[in-house]
Structure 1
Amino acid sequence: MPAGSPASGGGPQRTRNRVGSREVHVMSVRAWSILLAAVVAAGVVVGQEAPPRDLRWQGDHWTAWSPPPPPAGAQVYAIQPGDTLWDLAGRFYGDPYLWPQLWEQNQYILDAHWIYPGDPLVVTGLAEGVTETPEIVAPPLDLGEAAPPAGAEEAEAAEAAEEAVPRIGRSVVSGSSGPVPLGHESDIYCSGFIGAPDEPFAYSIVGSEYDYLTPSLEAGKVSQLDGTFGKAETEKVGLSIGDVAYLDGGRADGLSAGELLTAVQPGRMVRHPRTGAPLGRFYQYVGRVRVLSVQETTAIAEVVMACDMVRVGSRLQLFEPEPVPLRRLTPVRPVNYPAPASEVDAGATIVFARDATHTLGTGHLVFIDRGAEDDVAPGDIYTIYRRARPGFPPIVLGEVGVLSVHRTTALARILSSRYTVYIGDALVPK
């Protein structure tokens, strides 16, 4: 999710990327300065890694962006040190998960992880009941060029020379794109989660209409013979959309007509691919049912969505809608500037994929060993690394975007991959 802003005031602080202790100089700074100027003149924007490196003095503060004058009559908030879009969405909309709405209204911000004190933030559509409103900036922010503080010009000149050094694998993109969804609704609602080995569920499907449509040859006898997938004498094993099921909870258990429940099928135990430690059991989302009517201790429900075979015996939990996170995508980390090996070793790990899949690529869903307890949030982006031999730098493989978060694990989608991704590959926050 959006990260804190860099400090404002004074000259821009930079960190020089290195491989080992040697700087990478492929061509002379002078030659690449000329080439970079030609690229910029052609209207092409060079993709930036976070944090942006081309800070400029705008009005009375440093910023990496070019904020336009706010529309006449708009409510405008001046970003303060320590602000994040996440916190501001919670402040003005009453829900921090609405930060993409705030971002969409201020498209001059090219990377939501980096907002700068002094930049204007247009805020519209305040949530009902929110008492605090953004102050209208008056007089309007002066976004013109002003004299930067002493030493700033020298700092920018040095930075421009350093930035001219080429980076292998660095993307060149034309313009900027708006926020895009990191996946699809089915990625979230038809995936699952890693939970406790004996995860408790409030309800379960205990039968269906099909269990009683086959007549018994012996009067008064009700068959209890179970097969691999359910009752041996049932007419239909896997329930699908429109089928009627019976639940083991009713009015006394808090169920009411119209409620939506997610059908869950317990799966196999998951172990950490690097340590072998048990992480929990995988629980697959197989569909969704709507309660049609309730009795005192039972209920009748209809299958309204099926991702897989909904079975008699499937566990049920209350359905909780989850929006697909939005993110404005930026270029993948350059392959010749990987994170330090120590940071990769301490990072997250891809620990599981459905259907015992071990070789993965763009579009695959994976589970990582970080969750809400580690401050992971939907929309976070991680760079995928392959750990190399001792003494060699990690290999940049691609990126994943987090879709859904649970207590100790999270569901993510591989957004890009240069090579095959494997269970056990490492992740570092972008």
Structure 2
Amino acid sequence: MKIRSLSIGLLLVSLMFSAFLQAAVELKENVPETYIVKKGDTLWGISGMYLSEPWLWPELWDVNPQIDNPHLIYPGDELYLVWIDGRPRLRLRRGRDVKLTPSMRVNPLDLAIPVIPLDQIGAFLLRHRILGADDLNNSAYIVAGDQGHLISAPGDLIFGRGPFPDGERTYGIYRPGETYRDPLTEELLGYQAQDIGNAKLLSSNKDDVTELEINRVTEEVRMADRLLPMEEKIIDATFHPRAPEAEIVDAYMIAVDGGVTQIGTTDIVVINKGLRDGLEAGHVLAIYQSGELVFDQVAQENVRLPDVRAGLAMVFESFEKASYALVLKSNRPLKVMDKVKNP
């Protein structure tokens, strides 16, 4: 009797575990058995072709260690669907369009398909940074312009003071923009660093007052604008859409690029959670709108309806206390202060 009970128990556990695995990766109906990757494809698009929940891509992807850079997918590659122990897995055959040899240095930004349209976020990242208060207050700044004038044209000279790191000759000119605070705790999360232009250091970085030449401007340069070393913005084309490992709580979309309040698909938003909260590039979050407050005529009281799922967003740049995310999907008009949660 005990042996029979144990066998039945093991069978039930096995069936439950199998059901869990199948539920974890749910394929759409009529998915292609094979697919040739085309130029212009995105990993998110391919994920959505196969999965009802595209952020579960890592559960579907079957890495072949015999293939060079198996996490990179290139135009011309063939994806084919197999079943292993009752679970769907997607495998890769290298195509003929891209030949990888030891002598080649393949730049994933040039060839590999991205998760999201890189041209859409590339220009944004060149113009935007989120700076902490210490980063801003301890940075170099413009103390004067040549002949005491405000500067607005490339080729003009400016003078700076403050820390100029060794080996850095090119600096971005930034102005503190919007202040980001946590909507619940009022904690200062950082400042939007507004892009004003670029300048090249002409004198020694050891001088008390340094001389720089303006290379580019987006608007008139002002005294006290900050000078920060230019960051080499390499957009990671290889991160995979996935759910955050940590539970994301009390997270909101606190700002949107352009200063508007209405948010839609492909808009870039600021989220009040960052690296310290476990958010990384590639993490997918569900967007929720607060349920309406309605009057219960039977109970004669107000009641709050449940939050309503309204879209999806993917983090593409994470800072210590805040992150940038791209809205991938919206089922209804979104707005600042809508919630974001684990999908």
Amino acid at match of 1:298: V
Q: 1:378 to 1:210 in 2, by over 3 A?
A: farther
Q: 1:326 to 1:394 in 2, by over 3 A?
A: farther
Amino acid at match of 1:350: M
Structure 2 unaligned regions, length at least 5: 1-16, 36-47, 82-86, 105-112, 293-302
Which residue pairs with 1:181 in the alignment?
Answer: 117
Report 1 or 2 for greater relative contact order, CA contacts < 8 Å, sequence distance ≥ 6.
1
Matching residue within 317, 326, 346 for 2:228: 317
Which residue pairs with 2:341 in the alignment?
Answer: 428
Choose 1 or 2 for highest CA Rg.
1
Q: Classify the secondary structure of the residue corresponding to 2:234.
A: coil
Scaled by the length of structure 2, the TM-score of the pair is 0.61
Q: Classify the secondary structure of the residue corresponding to 2:71.
A: helix
Amino acid at match of 2:71: L
Q: 1:192 to 1:254 in 2, by over 3 A?
A: closer
Which residue pairs with 1:48 in the alignment?
Answer: 52
Shift of 1:204: 0.9
Structure 1 unaligned regions, length at least 5: 1-9, 18-34, 54-62, 78-91, 93-98, 129-176, 212-233, 334-342
Amino acid at match of 1:13: F
Q: How does 1:149-164 map to 2 (within 5 A)?
A: none
2:309 equivalent to 1:396: yes
Scaled by the length of structure 1, the TM-score of the pair is 0.50
Deviations along 1:17-55, whole A, 9 cap, x unmatched?
Answer: 9xxxxxxxxxxxxxxxxx956x879x99554215769xx
Pick the structure with more strand per residue.
2
Q: 1:421 to 1:241 in 2, by over 3 A?
A: farther
Q: How does 1:145-224 map to 2 (within 5 A)?
A: 179-182=115-118, 183-196=120-133, 199-209=136-146, 211=148
2:273 equivalent to 1:370: yes
Amino acid at match of 1:262: G
Q: Classify the secondary structure of the residue corresponding to 1:13.
A: helix
Which residue pairs with 1:76 in the alignment?
Answer: 66
Q: Give RMSD over aligned pairs.
A: 4.6
Which residue pairs with 1:412 in the alignment?
Answer: 325
**Structure 2 CA distance, aligned partners of 1:304 and 1:260?**
9
Which residue pairs with 2:6 in the alignment?
Answer: none
2:176 equivalent to 1:266: yes
Q: 1:314 to 1:65 in 2, by over 3 A?
A: closer
**Structure 2 CA distance, aligned partners of 1:245 and 1:276?**
40
Q: How does 1:229-248 map to 2 (within 5 A)?
A: 234=149, 237=150, 239-248=152-161
Q: Classify the secondary structure of the residue corresponding to 2:265.
A: coil
**Structure 1 CA distance, aligned partners of 2:55 and 2:266?**
27
Contact 1:181-1:325 within 8 A present in 2 as well: no
Percent identity of paired positions between Structure 1 and Structure 2: 17
Q: How does 1:98-177 map to 2 (within 5 A)?
A: 102-104=71-73, 108=79
Amino acid at match of 2:181: R
Deviations along 1:280-299, whole A, 9 cap, x unmatched?
Answer: 44232323222133373232
2:3 equivalent to 1:13: no
Task: Give the number of aligned pairs.
Answer: 274
Q: 1:426 to 1:292 in 2, by over 3 A?
A: same
Q: 1:260 to 1:401 in 2, by over 3 A?
A: farther
Q: 1:197 to 1:260 in 2, by over 3 A?
A: closer
Shift of 1:240: 4.3
Q: Classify the secondary structure of the residue corresponding to 1:185.
A: helix
Shift of 1:119: 6.3
Deviations along 1:122-171, whole A, 9 cap, x unmatched?
Answer: 8967799xxxxxxxxxxxxxxxxxxxxxxxxxxxxxxxxxxxxxxxxxxx
Q: Classify the secondary structure of the residue corresponding to 2:72.
A: helix
Contact 2:133-2:190 within 8 A present in 1 as well: yes
Which residue pairs with 1:359 in the alignment?
Answer: 262
2:201 equivalent to 1:291: yes
**Structure 1 CA distance, aligned partners of 2:233 and 2:80?**
25
Amino acid at match of 2:79: Y
Contact 2:252-2:272 within 8 A present in 1 as well: yes
**Structure 1 CA distance, aligned partners of 2:258 and 2:55?**
38
* Off by >6 Å, runs of 4+ in structure 1: 115-123, 125-128, 327-330
